[in-house]
Homo-oligomer: A and B are copies of this chain.
Amino acid sequence: MVVYAGQGDPRRSIELLWRGSVTENRPGPKPGLSVDAIVDAGIAVADEQGLAFSMRAVGERLGRTAMALYTYVPGKNELVDLMYDRTMAELPTSYPLDDGWRPAVTRWAHDLWECYGRHPWVLQVSQARPVLGPHEFAATEALAAILVSTGLPGRRLRGIVGAINYFVRGAAQTVVEARAAGGATGEADEEWWYARSAVLLEIEPDLARKFPMLHLLESDREPVDPSLPYLENDALENFRNGLGVLLDGIEGAVTQP
């Protein structure tokens, strides 16, 4: 089970995102923590445990109780918003256009894909109602800058920006959740798939006859990098192919009005 998170109080969230915490000289004991430290700890914990991490775990990693965090951060939702935007800060904010828009978009997509791979929990943070943090803006700005160079009108580009984002997110989800599930149960991808499909074939022996088109799709596989687990290979191949098709579509729009 996983719960998705994000979207705390807008004003408080946005102030923390864009302004950071304001710490003048005030009475009372010196703060032993900081929003930054808490966000870092949160990311570290979430990288290991996913979005279902507990405030207690974050506190523990900082040598405090869970409640100590509430001095700095209004609640778990707001913390996740901050973690999300901090993660987006890992992405480059501009891409060279020397070889045209296509390699640039490809690199943008790969960078985002890899960022998702490093921080799987990000994929569980709600996307509509975007967090609206500065670094997410910056990342999207980078993609927009590339695409604007195609000369296509904003009307067309909005759909394209969405499509690219959805695609990268979806493709990343496939790998990342598979990896997570394998890790949770201690199984490697291959074993998980084997166990699952073995049971399936035992219960429904003639899948191939019932779903002939799917069976057809599964044929015609390419040789594969043996150093990567099966699913990772599959996902990477599909990522490249799918992205290629998407970019072909954009190219069509660019070359002919």
Give me the interface of A with B, judged by CB distance under 8 Å.
Answer: 1-5, 7, 10-11, 14-15, 18-19, 51-52, 76-77, 80, 124, 126-129, 132, 134, 137-138, 140-141, 144-145, 148, 153-163, 165-167, 169-171, 173-178, 181, 192, 195-197, 199-200, 203-204, 207, 210-214, 216-222, 231, 234, 237-253
Contact = CB atoms under 8 A, between A and B. Distances in A.
A132 B210 CA distance: 14
A88 to B, nearest CB: 13
List the 7 closest pairs (A to B, CB-CB), nearest first.
A166-B170, A2-B4, A3-B3, A159-B241, A249-B249, A163-B242, A154-B220
Query: What is the predominant secondary structure among interface residues of chain A facing chain B?
Result: helix
Contacts of A7: 181
List the number of copies, as a whole number: 2
A245 B163 contact: yes
Contacts of A207: 137
Contacts of A52: 3
A14 B178 contact: no
A197 B241 CA distance: 37
Contacts of A241: 155-156, 158-160
Given A3-B2, A166-B171, A217-B154, A14 B196 contact: yes
